[in-house]
Amino acid sequence: MTERYSIQESVQRPPCRKWFAQVVLILSMLGLMLTGCASWQPPPAEFDDSDLRARAETEQVKGVKLSAAVLSTDDSQRMFGANINGAGVQPVWIEVENTTDQMLWLLRPGTDPDLFSPLEVAWSFHTSFAGETNALLDDHFHSLSFQNPIAPGTKQSGVIFTNPHQQSRLLNIDILGQGQLFPFTLFLTVPDDRTDDDTALENVYQLIEMAVDDYQNADTFRARLEQLPCCATSADGNAAGDPLNVILVGDFADIVTALVRRGFRSSALEFDSVQRLFDRPPDIVGRKIVTGGMPENWIRIWVAPFRYQGKTVFVVQAGRRQGWRFEEIEDKDLMLNPNVDEVRNFLIQDLLYSSGLSNIAFVSGVGATRPGELRDSLGGASYHTDGLRAVLFLVTRPLSLSDVQILDWHPYLKLHQTDAVKKIGNDSN
Amino acid sequence: MACKFKTILASISIALTLAGCASKGPVSEIEKLDYKSRAITRSDGAVLVSASVLSADESHDIYGVPLAKKGIQPVWIEVENGDDTAYWLMSPGLDPHFFPASETAEAFASTYENETLEVLDQHFSALAFRNPVPAGTTVSGFVLTNLDQGVKMVQVDLVASGRHKSFSIFAVIPGFRSDYRARRVFIRELYTEDEIIEYTDEKAFRAALEELPCCVTNKDVSRNGDPLNLVIVGGLDDAFPALVRRGWRPTEQTWSGSVLKMINSAMSGERYPYAPISPLYLYDRPQDFALQKARDNIHQRNHLRLWLSPMRYHGKDVWVGQISRDIGTRFTIHSPYLTTHKIDPDVDEARTALQEDMVYSQSLVKLGLVKGVGAAPRDAPRRNLTTDPYYTDGFRGVLMFDVHPTAITDVQFLPWEGREGGFIEYTSQQQ
């Protein structure tokens, strides 16, 4: 039996603090070294990728065609001779067909800023005293991995090793040409983890299609955003939920791309589904993962029943759980942190680094709480807020930090200007 | 694989025992100053930014809780905005994994029964830097970052509507030990003006890069180690901010003071981290600094070592370096601590990953490849100083930075090596 060590698991193990534990580890290590570890066996036959191709999603951007599919545990066993999925890695097969006249390069950090290298994954299957087998294993993993560049008129396929996404996977692929970016966003099902979520994503597309009202004028759009309810509600509509404090405007793919580039991964919990807007739970939930694999904050997204200048509008709750990030909390104990404005403001800052944010504005609509006052939400949570919604516009064209425009929709700045001047006045007294 | 995991833990524990306890050196001038007095100020037009990093004792005094014990380090920032527009300070630019004030309050609320969460929350929130910084005002406060030891690269990105200003400050953190050897390095200037070679001709510069040694060496230059597979053109204003934005941080104990001296001359004679544990050598000295990027898993990091070269290109500093991807830890008899990082033998992968990552940094203007490492095919790999095998196509990655923000599509390719657009055919597979 091949022994494995889960890359993800190791994160969550608390560091050994006691000496006796370390001695036990040394002893068990020696024991394991003496008993030896069974080594890797190459897969018996050439991998038949017809199944993968059959279920792959495909998208074409100008002269570039991308196909992609997430490998199942069975696929990775047959292809790599090892259960990569079991080691906390999600292998994704991709094929890029380049019919342009330029050389192309797949930018891996756009897909996952913390991607694993092929030999890194291979190394986690190495066994002691098995040099030759380990070398074969390395070669095998390397030969199946995706290789840049993609020359004009050619097709390149292979596997990239990403961090796991459950249920459905939003795959972002940035392909760079000469002064040109070919961005792709695909929705892939995760074969071993099929749930109702797959249909939920199809619903998202339908909901986007169903949004008929298309506001052309900034003032009427702004008025519409201000009229949205302050908050989500409970399932029976009787109790107020978390505030709807962010609006995202753009093509679906552009919004997802920006979020993925900043490390958000799709992850919906029971905890999220109690929040209702437009008579339904969130259409998508994303969580940002920080170093160590611990969840940092969430965005719960609903497709709005209207558009702005043809673009999709998302109504969003940006929030963070209560508690220290390195403290493990069971799902049932999750609770909203009261400082929702802080999460909203840091989300804006985070998206400023996504190269996709073009405009920022604020509108009212959440309703401010009085100083010292907390407003109740679901599950015993409460929060305080300045009552504003951030409106973030996302685009395809890559932008730099100096290209972002701040729209003068709300006297947000003037309020803060007065505050700051007051504060300086107080300090000098 | 379970055996490997345990091997790693066991060897780390042995290493920790051997490392022993740290002893504090004498108190230096800088430690006698409070954090505001030792703050370093930089300006761009009418905007002035000052920054200072708190020691563990200072942060305990100000926050009332031992922040350093939870790996949190406050950075004090003051922005004096003499410009005609409001600016926002970007916390993710300082540290992509910074800690919000409210979360930090919660981290300590459960530990301190006497302190209610509300009191801590209000206290921490009052200390936090509050955006925006309106035109004509001065705003100061703390951003809570992940703990660095010895020195910190503080990257301040200020964003206004249609504008961006970037400031980089290297701050010395009081409270860390030093040793005699490193102090000697510290008071020495790296290069005299006569030793500096200025290049403006691209061809000549490329030729000079090709002439650099293939690899780092051990101290007496008797053996070659990891390949010198990286050239960075730029410095404090452009290259380092790019690295910080993408999550690169200085490693502990690996800064030679000479670089600090050069960057913050005002800090002369002050404390600096002690010498690296396993130094690699170029130009007769260990790396001037080392950086690491922790990835999703805290056990896995990418490592990058840099040496300041005597070359300058169009007035910009040229750094020569080595990058590798650590994929685990293993036993070795070639290190006094019995453990070493197992590097990904495909060293070109780490080089390429850095180039791709920097495309997203907003500061990269040009990238390319240059000869000089010498190819080592997969079936005949070379070995580094800790006998890890590696193979390579023989190229160094070249990265040129500029302070002006650059969008992804505006990054240019140096037509040096490889095919059209500087792309190189990935050949190691065929070797």
- What is the pLDDT, as a whole number, of residue A195? 57
- The structural domain count of chain A equals 2
pLDDT at A385 over 90: yes
ipTM of this model?
A: 0.72
Shared-domain flag, residues A303 and A189:
no
Q: Which residue of A has its CA nearest to B89?
A: A349
Whether residue B92 lies inside any domain: the answer is yes
User: A290-338, pLDDT tens digit by residue?
Assistant: 655 555 689 999 999 999 999 999 999 999 988 887 777 788 888 898 9
Whether residue B3 lies inside any domain: the answer is no
- What is the pLDDT, as a whole number, of residue B216? 94
User: B261 versus A47: which is more confidently predicted?
Assistant: A47
Whether residue A262 lies inside any domain: the answer is yes
Picking from A7, A29, A322 by the largest number of B CB atoms within 10 A of its own CB, the best residue to mutate is A29
Are B342 and A416 within 8 A, CB to CB? Answer: no
Whether residue B318 lies inside any domain: the answer is yes
Q: Which of A117, A345, A350 sits opposite B346 (nearest CB)?
A: A117
Of the three residues A176, A193, A210, the one that is the final residue of a domain is A193
- Percent with pLDDT over 90 in chain A: 43
- What is the pLDDT, as a whole number, of residue A120? 87
Among A81-95, A127-141, B247-261, name the one with the lowest average pLDDT: B247-261
Shared-domain flag, residues A215 and A156:
no
For range A196-217, the mean pLDDT? 83
Shared-domain flag, residues B389 and B280:
yes
pLDDT at A55 over 70: yes
Q: Which of B5, B13, B344 sits opposite A117 (nearest CB)?
A: B344
Q: Which of B91, B106, B406 sits opposite A322 (nearest CB)?
A: B106
Q: Which of B10, B130, B298 sits opposite A26 (nearest CB)?
A: B10
Shared-domain flag, residues B357 and B275:
yes
Whether residue B7 lies inside any domain: the answer is no
- What is the pLDDT, as a whole number, of residue B334? 55
- What is the pLDDT, as a whole number, of residue A167? 58
Shared-domain flag, residues A294 and A203:
yes
Q: Which residue of A has its CA nearest to B5?
A: A5
- Which domain, by its residues, includes A297? 197-428
Shared-domain flag, residues A54 and A110:
yes
Shared-domain flag, residues A202 and A107:
no
Of the three residues A141, A176, A193, the one that is the final residue of a domain is A193
- The structural domain count of chain B equals 2
Of the three residues B121, B143, B172, the one that is the final residue of a domain is B172
Q: Which residue of A has its CA nearest to B100?
A: A342
The alpha carbon of residue B375 is apart from the nearest alpha carbon of chain A, in Å, by: 18
pLDDT-derived band at A394, boundaries 50, 70, 90: very high
- What is the pLDDT, as a whole number, of residue A203? 85
Are A124 and B107 within 8 A, CB to CB? Answer: no
User: A166-204, pLDDT tens digit by residue?
Assistant: 656 778 899 998 888 898 888 888 887 655 556 677 788
Q: What is the CATH number of the domain that holds A180?
A: 2.60.40
Are B352 and A148 within 8 A, CB to CB? Answer: yes
Shared-domain flag, residues A187 and A307:
no
- What is the pLDDT, as a whole number, of residue A331? 81
Shared-domain flag, residues A59 and A173:
yes
- What is the pLDDT, as a whole number, of residue A401? 82
Shared-domain flag, residues B140 and B250:
no
- Which domain, by its residues, includes B288? 190-422
Q: What is the CATH number of the domain that holds B128?
A: 2.60.40
Shared-domain flag, residues B305 and B383:
yes
Q: Which residue of A has its CA nearest to B245?
A: A353
Shared-domain flag, residues A160 and A228:
no
Whether residue B348 lies inside any domain: the answer is yes
Q: What is the pLDDT along chain B (431 residues), one digit of tens a residue?
A: 333 433 333 333 333 333 333 333 344 454 556 889 889 898 999 999 999 999 899 999 999 999 998 889 999 999 999 999 999 999 988 888 899 998 899 888 866 555 578 889 889 999 999 999 999 999 999 999 988 776 677 889 999 988 888 888 877 777 654 332 333 333 346 788 889 999 999 999 999 999 999 999 998 989 999 999 999 999 877 888 888 888 887 765 444 544 554 444 323 223 232 233 467 889 988 888 778 776 654 445 678 888 989 999 999 999 999 998 877 665 555 554 455 667 889 999 999 999 999 998 889 999 999 999 999 998 899 998 888 889 999 999 999 999 888 888 888 888 888 654 445 444 433 33
**A149 contacts in chain B (CB < 8 Å):** 419, 423-426
Are A400 and B406 within 8 A, CB to CB? Answer: yes
Whether residue B14 lies inside any domain: the answer is no
Shared-domain flag, residues A55 and A156:
yes
**A-B contacts (CB, under 8 Å):** 257
Picking from A8, A17, A90, A117 by the largest number of B CB atoms within 10 A of its own CB, the best residue to mutate is A117
Shared-domain flag, residues A186 and A218:
no
Distances, alpha carbon B241 to alpha carbons A2, B364, B403, in Å? 44, 10, 9
Whether residue A18 lies inside any domain: the answer is no
The alpha carbon of residue B60 is apart from the nearest alpha carbon of chain A, in Å, by: 18
For range A14-32, the mean pLDDT? 47
- What is the pLDDT, as a whole number, of residue B179? 31
Whole-number average pLDDT of chain A: 83
Among A126-130, A176-180, A341-345, B215-219, name the one with the lowest average pLDDT: A126-130
Are A32 and B406 within 8 A, CB to CB? Answer: no
**B298 contacts in chain A (CB < 8 Å):** 11, 291-292
Shared-domain flag, residues B132 and B210:
no
Shared-domain flag, residues A263 and A352:
yes
Shared-domain flag, residues A175 and A224:
no
For range A201-210, the mean pLDDT? 88
The alpha carbon of residue B413 is apart from the nearest alpha carbon of chain A, in Å, by: 9
Whether residue A36 lies inside any domain: the answer is no
